[in-house]
Amino acid sequence: MTSRAFGVLGPGDIVQITDPRGHRHTLQLEPGKVFHTHRGGISHDEILGMPDGCVVTSAGGTTYVVLRSLLEDFILSMPRGAAVIYPKDAARIVMSAGLGPGSRVLEAGGGSGALTCTLLTAVGGEGFVVSWERRPDFAEVARTNVERWFGAPPANWELGIGDVRDAVADGRIPASQFDAVVWDMLDPWECLGAAATVLRPGGVLVVYVATTTQLSRVAEDVRAMGGWTEPRAEESLVRTWHLEGLAVRPDHRMIGHTGFLLATRRLAPGVQAPPRRRRPAKGAYPTAPGPDSSS
């Protein structure tokens, strides 16, 4: 995304072109380049200098609507190393973590940089985002995607390569400096101690996991560790709709499952949450089999 938020389309802009059947392609505008479709080529020069929201015609006579990509368009089209957090979940992460201009956020793993782009957008120029990714090849994908979206390396972004726990343990990530931490990794319960170290009191930890077993493990480990508010879990389902005359109904296909979010807040040093007053539901926790366990 270049600094030209409005006005004409220029070199470096990321645009989405949509044909009459709704098929989309994403391109980054470059003078002299041609985008080849099976309906003929489209010269970037034809788009450069045109207003956002124009229509161009390919060499084969097909018309395409040209619009500067929104962040969600870019995330769904960008090259991936690791699986990305989908826009619907990224939006909920921003809200659950309480992010806004000036927020300071730590995330791991950086993966493909999809969530990074969302976090950087939410915190704005006054905030900052620190991302850690332990796979150098994925970190490179994240760096390329983030720099492509923002048009340059964001001044308020640091990308560290390595295990986030080591970086917290040896002080490369400072303690008590973050308003929010987001973990998107297979074993987030292994990083609860690191999150507790870097969050300021009242700071929010948001964990994104794909399976119920991960969700249960992280929730129980949060409770067992103490110093956190009662964890809250959610899943969001977005159902798009078919809109045509009287045929207004949900689309037949949807993204059925992406992941679950767990959010909890860090209490002040030495403080434990008051015991829960609600008893766990019968059977919530396994009991050790005893002599009368069959009755």
Ligand X SMILES: C[S@@+](CC[C@H](N)C(=O)[O-])C[C@H]1O[C@@H](n2cnc3c(N)ncnc32)[C@H](O)[C@@H]1O
Rounded to 10 deg, the angle between the 114-123 and 87-96 helix axes is 40
Size of the site for ligand X (CB under 6 A): 22
Contact segment (CB under 6 A) with ligand X among 7-15, 77-85, 95-103, 233-241 equals 77-85
Least CB distance from residue 13 to ligand X, whole Å? 22
Residue closer to ligand X by CB (options 168, 219) is 168
> For the chain, how big is the Rg over CA atoms in Å?
23
* Window 153 to 192, contacts with ligand X (CB under 6 A): 163-165, 184-185, 191
Least CB distance from residue 86 to ligand X, whole Å? 8
According to the binding rule CB under 6 A, does residue 74 interact with ligand X?
Answer: no
**Biggest alpha carbon–alpha carbon distance for the chain:** 81
Alpha helices in the chain (DSSP H): 44-47, 71-77, 87-96, 114-123, 136-150, 164-169, 192-198, 212-225
The tokens describing 241, both together, are 């709709």
The Cα 97–Cα 262 span in angstroms is 10
The backbone torsions φ and ψ at residue 111, rounded to the nearest 5 degrees and listed phi first, read 55, -120
According to the binding rule CB under 6 A, does residue 255 interact with ligand X?
Answer: no
Among 17, 29, 93, 108, contact with ligand X (rule: CB under 6 A): 108
According to the binding rule CB under 6 A, does residue 115 interact with ligand X?
Answer: yes
Per-residue string for binding with ligand X, 190-229, x by CB under 6 A? -x--------------------------------------
Residue closer to ligand X by CB (options 30, 190) is 190
Per-residue string for binding with ligand X, 122-141, x by CB under 6 A? ----------xxxx--x---
The Cα 197–Cα 205 span in angstroms is 11
**CB distance 219 to 189 below 8 Å:** no
Least CB distance from residue 105 to ligand X, whole Å? 12
The Cα 69–Cα 15 span in angstroms is 5
Among 14, 42, 66, 85, contact with ligand X (rule: CB under 6 A): 85
Cis preceding linkage at 41, omega within 30: no
The Cα 12–Cα 10 span in angstroms is 6
Among 14, 47, 82, 207, contact with ligand X (rule: CB under 6 A): 82
Residue closer to ligand X by CB (options 163, 221) is 163
Residue closer to ligand X by CB (options 3, 213) is 213
Contact segment (CB under 6 A) with ligand X among 4-12, 104-112, 219-227, 243-251 equals 104-112
Residue closer to ligand X by CB (options 67, 76) is 76
The Cα 40–Cα 189 span in angstroms is 51
Rounded to 10 deg, the angle between the 136-150 and 114-123 helix axes is 50
Q: Which residues bind ligand X (CB under 6 A)?
A: 82-85, 108-109, 111-115, 132-135, 138, 163-165, 184-185, 191
